[in-house]
Amino acid sequence: MRRLRTYVALGLTATALSAAACGPKAVRGEQVEGLDDEAMSTGLDKYDLQKMLHENMEELQASAVVKRWESEDMPKLAVIPLRNETSEHIDSALEALSSKIETTLFKAGHVTVINLAAQPALMDQVRQAQGDAFNPAQATQWGRQLSAQYIITGRVYSTDERQKKERRVQYFMFLQVLEVETSAILFQNETSVTKAII
């Protein structure tokens, strides 16, 4: 009887170990084709943020403000990090997107990009203000402190709907170019993505 119990216990342990070996495993994006394409939740992911930014930047590159920059002698521009007005924890992702905006504009060669991250005191002000309501006037004030002629700023916000077991979240990325001297809006665009559990 004792041997039988031992064999049963060993059998159950072996079954549990083999089941654990077949469980989830870590993979890299290159190992699984289309890994980043599927949504895992209704939250924002890298794919969503890059899609919205890409659409906004395409609109910006085709806009009148870029033609204006081309006629000027490399005007100075600063990128203020996009404000997170969602319930998602994406602040670090939005800071990375701000760097992507800087890189895109630097490569395009229309403007002289001023690196806000190199201005620690001003960056502290920006971080403290991230909890305030979206305020373009405050962004132009920061632009003056940087001696920038133009700034790019914006925000990401969402609407969330639920019905029974279904959920739909619509995310919007709003991008704006402001002339620092006048606070005039020279470019404004909004893109969106929708995520759902159905």
- Residue-wise pLDDT for 23-38, tens only, equals 788 877 777 887 777 7
Model pLDDT, residue 127: 54
Model pLDDT, residue 42: 86
Q: What percent of the chain has pLDDT over 90?
A: 40
89 within some domain? yes
Higher-confidence residue of 117 and 43: namely 43
**Residue 167 in contact with residue 197, Cβ under 8 Å?**
yes
151 within some domain? yes
Among 79-83, 130-134, 191-195, the least confident range: 130-134
Give the model's confidence band at 112: pLDDT under 50 very low, under 70 low, under 90 confident, else very high. Answer: very high
**Residue 90 in contact with residue 162, Cβ under 8 Å?**
no
Q: Residue 116 sits in a domain of what CATH number? A: 3.40.50.10610
1 within some domain? no
Model pLDDT, residue 102: 93
140 within some domain? yes
Model pLDDT, residue 68: 95
14 within some domain? no
| CB crowding 123-147: b at 16 or more within 10 Å, else e | beebeebeeeebebebbbebbeebe
Q: Which domain holds residue 129?
A: 36-197
Q: For the residues 47-68, what does the mean pLDDT come to?
A: 95
Structure tokens at 19: 């089941």
On the question of pLDDT at 176 being above 60, the answer is yes
Give the model's confidence band at 97: pLDDT under 50 very low, under 70 low, under 90 confident, else very high. Answer: very high
Q: For the residues 129-157, what does the mean pLDDT come to?
A: 71
Structure tokens at 153: 């700023």
Q: Is the pTM of this model over 0.85?
A: no
Domains held by the chain: number: 1
